[in-house]
Structure 1
């Protein structure tokens, strides 16, 4: 059986895509276990946020409004 230490030593050698896939699988496993503690919930939220980063950087539907960055904002009433 592979140890936690071996897993942690292998992770830096993996591609970003593989790391996200592993994180997603682990998060799903954690969510199906018994009622999590506040600390576990916070850890799960951090993992979920990290998984979303790639989408918010690369998905054109989520980045479309960045074309407006630098534009003046006017409040119309």
Structure 2
């Protein structure tokens, strides 16, 4: 029984090692277009952030908050 478990563990380890080696090779070979994809993701994120910022700055509450902040800062000078 003990020999069977050890044999199964060794086979499992060898299969895992083989899988990791194949995965590593596949991942290292498939990063040709990664720079373009990364730029696209950053562009989508920046555009989304800009849209949220514009929506916030259009609200009256945020405008009055910024106005008060600037007024308080200038009154300290």
TM-score normalised by structure 1 residue count: 0.34
- Larger RCO, structure (CA 8 Å, separation 6 or more): 1
TM-score normalised by structure 2 residue count: 0.34
